[in-house]
């Protein structure tokens, strides 16, 4: 037992010595290259371009007779238009708690004369939907269910206080 331990240690020391001997030397070509680079004459660096000072613009709309860029100039941009608006009084459906890109259509189901779309959520549950149901986080109302996709109309902010309608779809997953 004692001799095998001594044998293992001496074998380990021999392997370590061989491994370390491979790390040294052999850098003659690298030293030559470095010395050659150091022998080259240095290049000339172009001067920095002259920086022109920034001209400030003192914006006073009343004096110059121009419209303020910080105020909307159209009635629909001020959020007071007659465009679509989310119904804040409507109670939310379960599928509206998921982003639309995490929902997947997995098929359709025909019961009597009604075609249902089957939607799988990210937690693995499958839900039945029909036109008129809502899903997605942008007030997406289902308008169409076909064999290959579920069509929706979403109401999204236009960024200036109003809302616009946007078509979206959830395609059949593979």
pLDDT of 24 over the 80 cut:
no
Q: Which of 60-64, 67-71, 77-81, 127-131 has the lowest mean pLDDT?
A: 77-81
Portion of the chain with pLDDT greater than 70, in percent: 80
The verdict on residue 100 lying in a domain is yes
Q: How far is CA 52 from CA 46, 47, 55, 122, 146, in A?
A: 18, 15, 9, 55, 62
The verdict on residue 91 lying in a domain is yes
Determine the structural domain holding residue 101 and report its residue range: 83-171
**What pLDDT sits at residue 68?**
66
The verdict on residue 109 lying in a domain is yes
CATH, residue 99: 2.30.30.830
The verdict on residue 39 lying in a domain is no
Contact criterion met (CB below 8 Å) for 150 and 170: yes
The verdict on residue 44 lying in a domain is no
Contact criterion met (CB below 8 Å) for 160 and 72: yes
**What pLDDT sits at residue 22?**
62
What is the number of domains present in the chain? Answer: 1
pLDDT of 77 over the 50 cut:
no
pLDDT of 13 over the 90 cut:
no
As a three-state string, the secondary structure of the chain is CHHHHHHHHHHHHHHHHHHHHCCCCCCHHHHHHHHHHHHCCCCCCCCCCCCCCCCCCCCCHHHHCCCCCCCCCCCHHHCCCCCCCCCCCCCCCHHHHCCHHHCEEEEEEEECCEEEEEEECCCCCEEEECCCCECCCCCCEEEEECCCEEEEEEEEECCCCCEEEEEEEEEECC
Q: Tokens standing for 50?
A: 């002259």
The pLDDT confidence band at residue 23, using thresholds 50, 70 and 90, is low
The verdict on residue 96 lying in a domain is yes
What is the reported pTM? 0.53
């Amino acid at each position: 037992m004692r001799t095998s331990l001594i044998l293992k240690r001496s074998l380990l020391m021999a392997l370590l010595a061989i491994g370390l001997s491979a790390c040294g030397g052999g850098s003659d070509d690298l030293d030559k290259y470095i010395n050659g680079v150091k022998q080259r004459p240095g290049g000339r660096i172009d001067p920095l371009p002259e920086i022109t000072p920034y001209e400030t613009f003192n914006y006073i709309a009343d004096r110059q007779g121009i419209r303020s860029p910080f105020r909307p100039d159209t009635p629909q941009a001020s959020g007071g238009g007659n465009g679509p608006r989310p119904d804040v009084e409507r109670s939310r459906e379960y599928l509206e708690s998921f982003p639309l890109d995490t929902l997947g259509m997995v098929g359709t189901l025909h019961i009597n004369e009604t075609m249902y779309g089957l939607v799988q959520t990210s937690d693995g549950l499958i839900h039945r939907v029909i036109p008129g149901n809502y899903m997605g986080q942008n007030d997406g109302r289902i308008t169409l269910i076909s064999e290959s996709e579920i069509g929706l109309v979403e109401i999204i902010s236009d960024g200036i206080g109003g809302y616009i309608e946007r078509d979206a779809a959830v395609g059949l997953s593979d």
